[in-house]
Structure 1
């Protein structure tokens, strides 16, 4: 994009720009900039106090500068006089801030490019539509025990769903289907896969768009992993393939390979499975995340989330599914996953798998919910966030690939989150132990 942003603003009727960065906890931070000032701030950056966001900084640190990426400009479909641009963070002397999730992803993608690889991803973002207060489902008639694909419940939310889909159509994302998901009040929208950074920017904007349009309609949207104990949680299933740098040849595709995957693809999967417990610190980054992947049977009869570190064919009960030739699906991640750190960690582990020629082991096609593998056959996923953080702390592969300083900052903040959680006294604890 070569035209000045002020000129683009004039052509498209943009009055304001949101210069946005995503912090380590996935919170989007932004400044609203009038179009008359956008060229100066685009060149020099919008100033932020780093301590005010989750970036492991102090009040004594100098300001940080958010440099927006004009190649990822999203004009708000529901408010076209405003445009959103993701930004990268730099210090005032021009050095990159290593705690910037978007820069972490760009660094990993550069490592892939140096090896001759171009990574493409797609995400399936599940979310609930709640009442405005967020305490209950927005549709009291959505009560079926098997609500997945329910036509009537879907169409009762047509105004919200169609406005979001129309927005993606206008943005050129290629959305191709919308459905009611497995939980009451839960929905999913699918759009075309793209280069990993493009998908990550779209993922970040999608979450903002869904929440904003829901609020416009008097509702609240949440991507929380497990908001209701008896219902299926929100996943963020991620599809991935590796191409040559020109983007013309899918290096994961092999018509002679098992399930249409190449040896390169299986090595990538081997790398992911090898460090899956540490990966959970990014794919399942909250306390609540582990109530989704280790949940009891839900009202629908299945959680649709994995509990073992295993891969399968077209089988949704394992961590990795191979639904088609030339790609795989990671079913582990949930709605709280950071749009940039999720692909960064996943790709880093896959590159390690290729580098070390890791063997993913045998494929298991059992139903993990009704016919679990014998104990000790495969490893289990962490049972809570603390386990995942401890696995990340000892994992040198992610520390080297993502930057050791970044991983230390992430762990520092996440351990503090665990300590804050541990100080709380829940109603359950009071009820169970008050008479001790």
Structure 2
């Protein structure tokens, strides 16, 4: 539907309220329910929204190092605008109309901290270069027979998983939870997040879903909404879903792999595919991969934004640790899949399920375009066999502090995203790290309390 159709639908619809949301710097959806009249009144000039959402963390604690907003500015309102092209209805909430929003401005003076605005800007750069970016993100997550109340009552210990045991690609386990399993597939599709596939992964109560690919901004929209939609559908079944990168040291982590390809403007030719070249990889694809590998150490927090992210990025845990690429090898940072032109793509395997899809996808696209723009040569050979041992071209930072320091001082990051965004984002990651190092963990108590 075009804008006029949507406005007519809202005016005629029985629902007298509309829900909207946007993703903050951590990828957490923040939003409101507003009246029909409020919706209509704000279509042109936007809606005032307290800019504290750019000045606090995922636990609503204000940063002590922020510049974008803070006590120094008084936390004023900032104009948030609905993107009417994101219109959908929430099937598990009586089909209430829903829109995604961002802090983009008509004059181009966007709020630098807004992740969706950043991705829109990079997508526009891609279009200006003559390319259509087709993207998709897939997620792994664990499901628990818990409630938000029981999680806190148990102090997040001794949690009951949806099903026991390690049972990847199981046909049996989903039949045990068929109501939840089929609700995920069907309700997500009704919410305009169609899945390519859904299955169990190895681990107790863990699922993996691949979202069908789309234009890069729409793909990120769907990925952002997917994570919240899964949680809401889980609530309806008395379950809690977690997208932590690594909730248990003894179990595999949860990925958020990004699948990416560039097509011509008419969307008729996959520009990554060239059957006449080695590995059927076009020169453009080689430049794209070279850019992603070159930029990766400069922008790792975009893919691994939390302290917990780096607990997943360890050797032998189905997640990469080295600056490597390969053809269909799951031990490297980038994995080329190109048996046919239609499905030729690069899988970025660094990103975890805890990533902010807008930022992870923006980082993937921007770094790939960097390689094309600078005509980089792919001088890193493809890894064969165990990519964990190929450390000669660099390794992924070991923790959030190391990764944040590298990004904060990187001229490459500034070129990709702008100095104002890099300053805000790295300050937020520095804050996140400092909240962690100030805590005393259970491990420390068990190890040192009595004996040291």
Provide TM-score, normalisation by structure 2.
0.88
How far residue 75 of structure 1 moved from its aligned partner, in angstroms, is 0.9
Does structure 2 retain, via aligned residues, the 8 Å contact 1:13–1:81? no
Unpaired runs of at least 5, structure 2: 57-67
Partner of 1:46: 47
CA deviation digits over 1:206-227, x for unaligned, max 9? 1111000101111101111001
Residue 319 (structure 1) aligns with: 333
Give 1:157's match in structure 2, choosing from 166, 177, 194: 177
* Cα deviation, residue 417, structure 1: 1.4
Query: Aligned partners of 2:252 and 2:312: how far apart in 1?
Result: 7
Query: What is the match of residue 199 of structure 1?
Result: 219
* Equivalenced residues, count: 424
1:427 equivalent among 430, 436, 442: 442
Provide the residue aligned with 1:393 in structure 2: 408
CA-atom RMSD in angstroms: 2.1
Gaps of 5+ in 1: 296-301
Compare 216-225 and 272-281 and name the one that shifted more. Answer: 272-281
Aligned residue number for residue 28 of structure 1? 29
- Do structure 1's residue 251 and structure 2's residue 266 form an aligned pair? no
Distance 2:366 2:107 in 1: 29
Alignment of 1:373-392 (within 5 A): 373=390, 376-392=391-407
Q: Which moved more, 1:33-42 or 1:277-286?
A: 33-42
CA distance 1:341–1:173, change in 2 (3 Å): same
Alignment of 1:123-138 (within 5 A): 123-130=137-144, 131-132=146-147, 133-134=150-151, 135=156, 138=160
Cα distance, 1:96 vs. partner?
1.9
Q: 1:215 to 1:141 in 2, by over 3 A?
A: closer
Q: Which residue of structure 2 lines up, in the alignment, with residue 299 of structure 1?
A: none
Deviation at 1:128, TM superposition (A): 0.9
Q: Could you tell me how far apart the structure 1 residues matched to 2:210 and 2:162 are?
A: 25
Q: 1:354 to 1:420 in 2, by over 3 A?
A: same
* TM alignment of 1:28-427, pairs within 5 A: 28-54=29-55, 56-59=68-71, 60-89=74-103, 95-130=109-144, 131-132=146-147, 133-134=150-151, 135=156, 138-139=160-161, 141-144=163-166, 147-294=167-314, 302-325=316-339, 326-360=344-378, 361-368=380-387, 372-373=389-390, 376-427=391-442
Q: Deviations over 1:351-396 (max 9, x none)?
A: 1111222223100111236xx33xx523111110111112212322
- What CA distance in whole angstroms lies between the structure 1 residues aligned with 2:267 and 2:159? 43
Task: Note closer, same or farther for the CA distance 1:13–1:191 as it changes in structure 2 (3 Å cut).
Answer: farther
Cα pair 2:86 2:100 within 8 Å, conserved? yes
